[in-house]
Amino acid sequence: MAVVALKPGYADAVEIRDRKENFHGNQVVYLHWEEHLSFCAATAFPLPPEMPLGALTEKLIPQFYGMHPDFKSLDWNSVEWKIDGEPATPDMSKSLAENGVGHKSLVCFRTPGLNGYKGSCS
């Protein structure tokens, strides 16, 4: 369905507010650690598309998820990844863009065996 608008041509004149061009060379990337819902929602970051995906595991995830008691047991080799809902095997040395992580992509990671505080998915 399309919007029912009073003004003729409304739909064509729409300014999409969060176009990639508005982020000063960055794209928005969302991260989510599955079965760890003490992080209430996926997190958002403005990142250069050419940034290596490995920076997520080396820098961003430790910085923003490192306080979780499960984090110290995290083994990156066993992590299961999903990019925009599709299972993925990302190449850490390649860029976000090369790994198919686009503007407003959702990157989920699951850590088998680690499923939150006392297994509660928190």
Residues that bind another protein (CB under 8 A): 1-6, 10-11, 14-19, 22-24, 26, 28, 30-32, 34-35, 37-46, 63-64, 67, 69, 84-85, 102-106, 115-118, 120-122
Nearer to another protein (CB atom), residue 16 or residue 77 = 16
Nearer to another protein (CB atom), residue 24 or residue 77 = 24
CB 48 within 8 A of CB 78: no
At 89, give phi and psi (nearest 5°).
-120, 85
Nearer to another protein (CB atom), residue 62 or residue 93 = 62
CB of 120 to another protein, least distance (A): 4
Nearer to another protein (CB atom), residue 39 or residue 95 = 39
CA distance 81 to 85: 9
- Pick from 113, 104, 114: nearest CA to 38: 114
- Coil vs helix vs strand at 31: strand
CB of 110 to another protein, least distance (A): 10
CA distance 17 to 42: 21
